[in-house]
Structure 1
Amino acid sequence: MGRLALAALAAFLTDQLSKLYVMYGMGMRVGDMVEILPPLVVFKFGWNPGINFGLFSGSPDFARWVLVALAVFISGILLWWARKAPRKPIVLIGVGLIVGGAVANALDRVVYGAVADFLNMSCCGIDNPFIFNIADIWIFAGAFALVIFDTDPKKDAGKEAS
């Protein structure tokens, strides 16, 4: 199995297993809070029917299916893009993290009607009101890898020569 597939599988499994543990192992329900390493890491359980930061959370039910379709579509585009030209291993891992995280959140929408969020991180006197999940971390890390490491040496050499 390639790096991309392994990264996608790891992202998907770590997200889904963490959510199952929080919901069933810890028995957390909406509004429950457990301080893990306060204030840096606090579990605050909630369902997010919208997108990041709860945007569009008041949308009609069909919006969840639009978000599921969008996650599948973007994942497909990323997979196609990653395979059309040679990519650095870190970029393939980044694509895998995005795809695994997107599919994990899409599965939540299909099964539960919303995404399970439970992580809250605050630091340095800043009280962060938002909660997120492991899939969100993987999506962010994958996007970061694409932005930082997806460079074309031929294009970069052309820019330096100019």
Structure 2
Amino acid sequence: MAVLPAERGVRLGFALAGLVLAADVATKAAIVAWVEYGAVHEWLPILNIVHVLNRGAAFSFLHDAGGWQRYFFIVIAIAASVFLIWMIRRPGTSIMERTSFGLILGGALANMVDRLVRGAVVDWIDFHWGPHHWPAFNMADVSISIGAVLLVVHEVFGRKRLREANG
């Protein structure tokens, strides 16, 4: 039985989400097991491996909000995941969109798992230039960011080509 292209795209979206989830859970488990909390290990001149916990969202938004934010971000992750699953399965969704949604879904689920299990998200990648540090992040954050960039690229260039092709 042949698999239709749309079905392959749906499978791709969910496979990417599963791979991101597994990779993120594995890397965070390794950090928790092998890197002492609060430790900083220089790996490259511009990259440290760290072990920090973020109780907030991106850039530590609401990190010190008192604990309620954990449940708030879990609810947001569940709602976003339901929406992303619907978007991956929706007829007419392109392969690029399904890829993007899969990457974002995997990252959202991975960070949600952290909030459920640890009460906070483990961040471990620390890019810096001299004393100037980007906020620490993890593989789930990278996946979410790549998925978002792919969506923007698709919207800007992919739809333009489709309009040009349709005259």
TM superposition score category, shorter chain reference = 0.7 to 0.9
1:12 maps to which of 21, 30, 43: 21
**Deviation digits for residues 72-118 of structure 1 (CA, Å, limit 9, x no counterpart):** 10121122123223233222111111000000000100111100001
Q: CA deviation at 1:36?
A: 1.2
Q: TM-score, normalised by structure 1?
A: 0.86
SS of the residue corresponding to residue 122 of structure 1 reads: strand
**Deviation digits for residues 122-149 of structure 1 (CA, Å, limit 9, x no counterpart):** 24x5722410101000000011111112
The alignment of Structure 1 onto Structure 2 pairs a total of residues equal to 156
> Is 2:120 aligned against 1:114?
yes
Q: TM-score, normalised by structure 2?
A: 0.84
Q: How far apart are the structure 2 equivalents of 1:66 and 1:11?
A: 23
Q: How far apart are the structure 2 equivalents of 1:55 and 1:9?
A: 27
Contiguous gaps of at least 5 residues in structure 2: 1-7
Residues 133, 29 of structure 1: CA spacing in aligned structure 2 closer, same or farther, 3 A cutoff?
Answer: same
Q: CA deviation at 1:43?
A: 0.8
**Deviation digits for residues 43-85 of structure 1 (CA, Å, limit 9, x no counterpart):** 1210000011111011132221110110110121122123223
Q: Following TM superposition, where does structure 1 have runs of at least 4 consecutive aligned residues deviating by more than 6 angstroms?
A: none
1:145 maps to which of 146, 150, 154: 150
Identity %: 26
Q: Cα RMSD over matched residues?
A: 2.2
